[in-house]
Homo-oligomer: A and B are copies of this chain.
Amino acid sequence: MTGATSGAPSRSDAVRNRRLLLDAAAKTFAERGVEVSIAEIAQCAGVGKGTVFRHFSSKEELLAAIMLGMLDELMDTATELLTADDPGLALREFMAAGVQLLVRDRAFCEVVGRPSLQNPQVRAAIDRLCDAGEALTARARERGVVRPDLTGTDVVLLLAGIQHTAAPLLSTEPQAWRRYLELALDGITARTGRELPHPPPRRLPLASPHPDSGC
């Protein structure tokens, strides 16, 4: 349920430390991005650096665990919203929840579409999220409240896009994302008759958009 990557420890203090660590890491990553040092996270959690590596074999893995937690959280929201009465409203609420998550978490933003996403479990979680997004979208499509060629993956991708649109404003206008969410909603509900130009994505390929290349 938690998306733990390492086998969950059994001793109670270990369990407690893992919790402490995840909370501290989540908070620190959220505030300062993926660049925070392990030392800082450890200090924030009140444990030694060694303990971090006992629970997570690398920084990468710790980051993945945090990201998984957030994805799972959003996934839960999506699942709940699947049973909502108004599919259009449900979609809007899903998007609002997703954007808010991103807005509150700097690392989450940095990770989306980046190498860390190569982690298989994170990939799987995103796939599940896209599926849930698709389910929400399908309901909205059926009701005709969104354009017919909109996919769940589009919706998930838009979350990051909306956050990123608002990003430069957020420090002074923490709610500015609502403006761009609204704009996006107007975009996806527009019935223009025209199809969107590029074939709809089904799944995220998850490779870096700017792959390395020799010189």
Interface residues, chain A, with chain B CB atoms under 8 Å away: 24, 27-28, 30-33, 40, 43-44, 103, 105-106, 112-113, 117, 154, 157-158, 160-173, 175-176, 178-180, 182-188, 190, 192, 194, 196-201, 204-213, 215
CA distance A27 to B104 in the complex (A): 32
What residue of chain B has the Cβ atom nearest to residue A33's Cβ? B210
How would you classify the secondary structure of chain A's contact residues: helix, strand, loop or mixed? helix
Contacts of A198 in B (CB 8 A): 173, 175-176, 178-179
User: Once the chains bind, are B215 and A44 in contact (CB under 8 Å)?
Assistant: yes
Contact indicator B183/A187 (Cβ below 8 Å): yes
Q: Do A165 and B170 touch (CB < 8 A)?
A: no
Per the bound structure, the CA–CA distance linking A204 and B186 in Å amounts to 23
Chain B, residue nearest A192 (CB): B186
Q: How far is the CA of A179 from the CA of B187 in the complex (A)?
A: 11
What CA separation (Å) do A169 and B199 show in the bound complex?
11
Q: From the candidates B27, B113, B211, name the one contacting A164 in the complex (CB within 8 A).
A: B113
Cα distance A180–B117 in the bound complex, in angstroms: 21
Name the B residues within 8 Å of A183 (CB-CB). 154, 158, 184, 187-188, 196
- Which B residues lie within 8 Å of A211 (CB)? 31, 171
